[in-house]
Amino acid sequence: MASILKKDLPEGQRALEQWRRTAADDLAATDDLPRRVWAMAVRYSLYLMERKAPGEGVEVRVAPWGAIKILEGPASDPHNLTPPDVIELEPDVWLRLVCGVSTWDEEKDAGHISAVGERDDLSDLLPLA
């Protein structure tokens, strides 16, 4: 399931770098970034995660901008299309993890990650950038 169109990869890369630079200077300032920057940064980072950990066993959802399936393991039930492991994060949480601003354990302990299933920890895969 593609999180970003191939033609949008350069824009996504720029958006993720813009989010990272802004967060490094002042994390609160990321709230002022345009919605499109947020969307493209999330989509591009999901694309990077798909490439890093291909598979069908875990669904990672970053609403409203994307969802991917990663890691080997049991695929979706053909009746409901949901894999046995599902992780849901808000865009700000996802980007903090992707960019190394926070850790999986910090976000999980703060209650910012909803994860169901045996493979509910992506700490070995993050940060991405």
Q: In the prediction, which pLDDT does 116 show? A: 87
pLDDT tens track for 29-46: 999 999 999 999 999 999
d(CA 101, CA 128): 11
- Annotated domain spans of the chain: 6-116
SS3 category, 122: coil
CATH code for the part of the protein at 6-116? 3.30.1050.40
- The rounded percent of the chain whose pLDDT value lies above 90 is 81
User: What pLDDT, on a 0 to 100 scale, did the predictor assign at position 73?
Assistant: 77
**pLDDT tens per residue across span 48-83:** 999 999 998 899 999 999 999 999 876 656 556 666
pLDDT of res. 98 = 98
Phi–psi pair at 43, nearest 5 degrees: -60, -45
Spell out the SS3 assignment of 19-46: HHHHHHHCHHHHHHCCHHHHHHHHHHHH
Cα distances from 11 to residues 25, 34, 83, 109, in angstroms, run 21, 13, 30, 33
Instruction: For residue 10, give Cα distances in angstroms to 5, 35, 89, 109, 115.
Output: 10, 17, 24, 34, 30
Going by pLDDT thresholds of 50, 70 and 90, the confidence category of residue 119 is confident
Q: Report, as an integer, the average pLDDT of 118-127.
A: 92
Q: What is the mean pLDDT of the chain?
A: 92
